[in-house]
Amino acid sequence: MERNPMRRQLAIMRQSLFDQGHVDEQFVQLEELQDDANPNFVEEVVTLYYRDSARIILNIEQALERKPFDFRKLDAYMHQFKGSSSSIGAKKVKAESTLFREYCKSGNGEGCMRSFQQLKKEYATLRKKLGAYFQLARQAGPVETASRPK
């Protein structure tokens, strides 16, 4: 149990990321790769993810403006986005990506639009929560070891 109040708060924030389903086991694996040689590894990977995601989301938005929908292209973009999201353990975002791809495969344009809006909400929420988490983590200083969520 963390005695330091900031570390306690950090632990609580981290646990809630898992409890609320925002991240999964893959996030723990990222944390386990973080060490003295790569002290900000998780945040670096997540930053790369944001950069990747911004590009893909823009591509999807542009593709959704063109009618008729090119479902093959939309699916290909979402395939990339899902892969990236899986890599950082973005659980809810990944789930919404899967749903979007199912709508693509069934040629359901309305479904794609709805799912994409939901995906962007989940993505924005994740960014907000991870942003706050990393900000506190930087203030709290380096953590010794990653621990699996309860």
Whether residue 114 contacts residue 56, with contact meaning beta carbons closer than 8 Å, is answered with no
**Does 87 help bind another protein (rule: CB under 8 A)?**
yes
- Under the criterion CB under 8 A, does residue 105 sit at the interface with another protein? no
Amino acid identity of 134? Answer: F
List, as one string, the DSSP characters of 16-63. Answer: HHHHTTSB-HHHHHHHHH--SSSTTHHHHHHHHHHHHHHHHHHHHHHH
Nearer to another protein, 84 or 115 (CB): 84
Contact between 107 and another protein (CB under 8 A)?
no
- Residue in 30, 63, 90, 137 binding another protein, rule: CB under 8 A: 30
Q: Could you say whether residue 49 binds another protein (CB under 8 A)? A: yes
Tell me: does residue 83 bind another protein (CB under 8 A).
yes
CA distance 59 to 132: 27
94 burial type by CB count under 10 A (0-12 exposed, 13-18 middle, 19+ buried): buried
CB of 9 to another protein, least distance (A): 28
Is residue 33 within the footprint of another protein (CB under 8 A)? yes
Q: Using the rule CB under 8 A, which residue among 9, 40, 59, 86 binds another protein? A: 86
Interface mask (CB under 8 A) for another protein, residues 54-73, using x and -? --------------------
Work out how close the CB of 30 gets to another protein at its nearest, in angstroms, rounded to a whole number: 8
Taking a C-beta distance cutoff of 8 angstroms, is the pair 126, 22 a contact?
yes
